């Protein structure tokens, strides 16, 4: 299996949307091994749509998406996951009727290291036999992440990790993304609302506004060029 120029994820000229109506236009985006890439932008910019299209849950309208060197086939979306893509959905996509252990078991495909995934989230260990629906918000997010990691993915998509979580939990979980990417060489694409924290832990960032890339730069640069960020979020006239 070849990496196309080393990139785990290569999106070219992507038009993505619903029922033939594009919400995202002409998107170019890459994620390399060990990289944490942030995908930022105001609400309705098309970030979730992009992630859904990358993992094949939504068919692309135009353009191409290549994960681990091979194009994504939305008719066989589950195969992308088997090749090494993990996607933590916006609403976590947990199976609330199953226990935490059963959730993990489904994420874990033989050969991968379940214990290692739990290493990152020791707080889950005493909760393994509890029903996922009965866990707290933070615990559920940890479970979703652990489940994604249980399959030893090479590319990890995380959608709104911080949604509905207390700030202190966010502060713990976000840097974990950095650690994971560093430790395992997994590429991480992160959709986030907490702009500054996201920039702190990421290598590069794209800012998506009204379905198009307004800014694509290294995270350090964006931290320094705050005005560039604000303009892209709020529009030229806001300042």
Partner 1 sequence: MTDYAFYLLLGSGAGAVIAMLGMGLVLTYRGSGVVNFAYGAIATWVAYVFYGLRADGDYVLPFPGLPERIDGGDEMAFVPAIAISLATAAALGLLVYAFVFRPLRLAPALAKVVASVGVLVAVLAMVQLRFESTILSPAKILPSEPVTIARDLTVPRDGFWLAGIAITLAIALWAVYRFTRFGLATRAAAEDERGAITLGLSPDALAALNWTAAAVVAGAVGILASPLTQLSPLLFTALYLVPALGAALIGRFTSFGVTCAAGLAIGMVQSTFVQLQVDVSWWPEIGAREGLPFLAIVGALVLLGSRLPTRGSIEIARLPRAPIARARAAELGLGYAATVAAFFILPGGWRIALLTSLIAAVLALSLVVLTGFLGQISLAQMAFAGIAGFALARFADDMRIPFPIAPLLAALVATAFGLLVGLPALRVRGINLAIVTLAGGVAIQEFVFKNPDYTGSIAGGGVRIPKPELFGIDLGLTVKGALFRPAFGVMVTTVLLVLVVAVMNLRRATLGRRMLAVRANERAAAAAGIDVARTKLVAFALSAFVAGVGGTLIGYRFGTISDASYGLFASLTVLAFAYIGGIASVGGALIAGAVTSGGIFFFATQEIVGRGSSANLELFIGGVALVAMAVLNPEGIAGALRQSRASRFLEGRPR
- 158 binds partner 1, rule: CB under 8 A: no
Based on CB atoms, which residue is closest to partner 1, 157 or 207?
Answer: 157
**Cα-Cα end-to-end distance for the chain:** 48
Which residues, other chains included, contact 33 with Cβ-Cβ below 8 Å and sequence gap of 6+? 3, 6, 8, 154, 185, 186, 187
d(CA 128, CA 1): 35
- 106 binds partner 1, rule: CB under 8 A: yes
d(CA 26, CA 120): 37
| Nearest C-alpha neighbor of 155 from the set 15, 29, 12, 40 | 29
Among 3, 74, 112, 228, indicate the residue that binds partner 1 (CB under 8 A).
74
Q: Kindly indicate which of the ranges 32-40, 76-84, 205-213, 223-231 contains the residues binding partner 1, using the contact rule CB under 8 A.
A: 76-84
- 86 binds partner 1, rule: CB under 8 A: yes
Based on CB atoms, which residue is closest to partner 1, 150 or 195?
Answer: 150
- 97 binds partner 1, rule: CB under 8 A: yes
117-142 in b/e form (b: 16+ CB < 10 A) is bbebbeebeebeeeebeebeebbbbb
Tokens of 119: 């290493």
Based on CB atoms, which residue is closest to partner 1, 152 or 195?
Answer: 152
- 98 binds partner 1, rule: CB under 8 A: yes
Based on CB atoms, which residue is closest to partner 1, 89 or 231?
Answer: 89
Q: Kindly indicate which of the ranges 75-83, 111-119, 214-222, 223-231 contains the residues binding partner 1, using the contact rule CB under 8 A.
A: 75-83
Among 33, 34, 59, 69, indicate the residue that binds partner 1 (CB under 8 A).
59
Among 25, 66, 147, 204, indicate the residue that binds partner 1 (CB under 8 A).
147
155-180 in b/e form (b: 16+ CB < 10 A) is bbbbbbbbeebeeebbeebbebbbeb
Binding mask 3-42 for partner 1 (x = CB under 8 A): ---------------xxxx---------------------
Residues of this chain that bind partner 1 (CB under 8 A)? 18-21, 55-57, 59, 74, 76-79, 81-82, 86-89, 92-98, 102-103, 105-107, 109, 147-148, 151
């Amino acid at each position: 299996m070849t990496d196309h120029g080393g990139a785990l994820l290569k999106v070219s000229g992507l038009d993505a949307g619903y029922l033939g109506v594009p919400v995202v236009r002409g998107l170019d985006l890459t994620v390399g091994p060990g990289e944490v890439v942030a995908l930022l932008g105001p609400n309705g910019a098309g970030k979730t749509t992009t992630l859904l299209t990358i993992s094949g849950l939504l068919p692309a309208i135009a353009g191409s998406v290549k994960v681990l060197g091979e194009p994504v086939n939305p008719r066989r979306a589950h195969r992308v996951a088997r090749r090494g893509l993990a996607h933590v959905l916006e609403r976590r996509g947990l199976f609330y009727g199953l226990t935490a252990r059963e959730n993990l078991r489904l994420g874990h495909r033989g050969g991968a290291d379940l214990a290692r995934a739990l290493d990152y989230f020791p707080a889950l260990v005493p909760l393994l036999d509890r029903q996922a629906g009965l866990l707290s918000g933070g615990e559920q997010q940890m479970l979703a992440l652990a489940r994604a990691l249980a399959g030893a993915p090479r590319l990890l998509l995380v959608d709104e990790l911080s949604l509905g979580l207390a700030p202190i939990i966010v502060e713990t979980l976000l840097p974990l993304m950095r650690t994971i990417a560093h430790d395992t060489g997994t590429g991480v694409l992160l959709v986030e609302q907490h702009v500054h924290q996201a920039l702190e832990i990421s290598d590069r960032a794209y800012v998506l506004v009204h379905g198009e890339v307004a800014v694509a730069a290294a995270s350090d640069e964006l931290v320094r060029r705050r005005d560039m960020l604000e303009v892209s979020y709020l529009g030229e006239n806001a300042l």
